[in-house]
Amino acid sequence: MTAGRAWSRIGVGAALAGAVGLGLIAVPAGAGAAPELPPVSAQDLVSSVLTAKPGPFNGTVALDNALGLPSIPGAPAQLANGTSTARVWSGDDGKGRLSIPSGSDEKTVVADGTTVWTYDSADRTAAKHAVTPGEHAPDQRSATDPTAAAAQAIETLGKTSTITVDGTAEVAGRPAYDLVLAPNPTERTLLREVRIAVDAEKRVPTRLTVLANGSTNPALEIGFTDLTFGPQDASLFTFTPPPGTTVTDEPAPADKPEGTPGQSGPPAGTTVVGDGWDTVVVGKAPTAPQGRPTPGDQGRPGGAAPDLSSLGTPVSGSWGSGRLITTAVASAIVTDDGRVAGGAVPEQVLTEALAK
Please give the residue ranges that form the binding site for another protein (CB under 8 A).
Answer: 4-5, 7-8, 10-19, 21-22, 25-27, 60, 87, 99, 101, 103-106, 108, 110, 117, 119, 121-124, 126, 236, 239-245
Q: Whose Cβ is closer to another protein: residue 27's or residue 288's?
A: 27
d(CA 170, CA 176) in angstroms, rounded, equals 6
Torsion of CA 206, 210, 211, 213, to 10 degrees: 160
CB of 331 to another protein, least distance (A): 25
CB of 118 to another protein, least distance (A): 9
CB of 253 to another protein, least distance (A): 23
Regarding beta strands 125-130 and 246-250, do their DSSP bridges make them parallel or antiparallel, or are they unpaired? Answer: parallel
CB 205 within 8 A of CB 220: no
Torsion of CA 297, 115, 96, 255, to 10 degrees: -20
Q: Whose Cβ is closer to another protein: residue 28's or residue 38's?
A: 28
- Whether the CA torsion 329, 319, 275, 140 is positive or negative: it is positive
Strands (E), the chain: 57-65, 82-90, 95-102, 105-112, 115-120, 125-130, 161-171, 174-183, 191-199, 205-212, 220-229, 246-250, 271-273, 280-284, 313-317, 320-326, 331-335, 339-343
CB of 48 to another protein, least distance (A): 31
Q: Whose Cβ is closer to another protein: residue 54's or residue 241's?
A: 241
CB of 7 to another protein, least distance (A): 5
Q: Whose Cβ is closer to another protein: residue 122's or residue 355's?
A: 122
Q: Whose Cβ is closer to another protein: residue 103's or residue 314's?
A: 103
Q: Whose Cβ is closer to another protein: residue 73's or residue 244's?
A: 244
CB of 102 to another protein, least distance (A): 9
Q: Whose Cβ is closer to another protein: residue 239's or residue 277's?
A: 239
Strand partners, 324: 313, 333
Residue type, 348: Q
Q: Whose Cβ is closer to another protein: residue 193's or residue 250's?
A: 250
CB 145 within 8 A of CB 90: yes
d(CA 153, CA 158) in angstroms, rounded, equals 8
CB 164 within 8 A of CB 45: no
Q: Whose Cβ is closer to another protein: residue 14's or residue 252's?
A: 14
CB of 69 to another protein, least distance (A): 16
CB 180 within 8 A of CB 165: yes
d(CA 177, CA 186) in angstroms, rounded, equals 27
CB of 128 to another protein, least distance (A): 12
CB of 281 to another protein, least distance (A): 32
Regarding beta strands 95-102 and 105-112, do their DSSP bridges make them parallel or antiparallel, or are they unpaired? Answer: antiparallel
List alpha helices for the chain, DSSP H: 2-26, 42-51, 146-157, 347-355
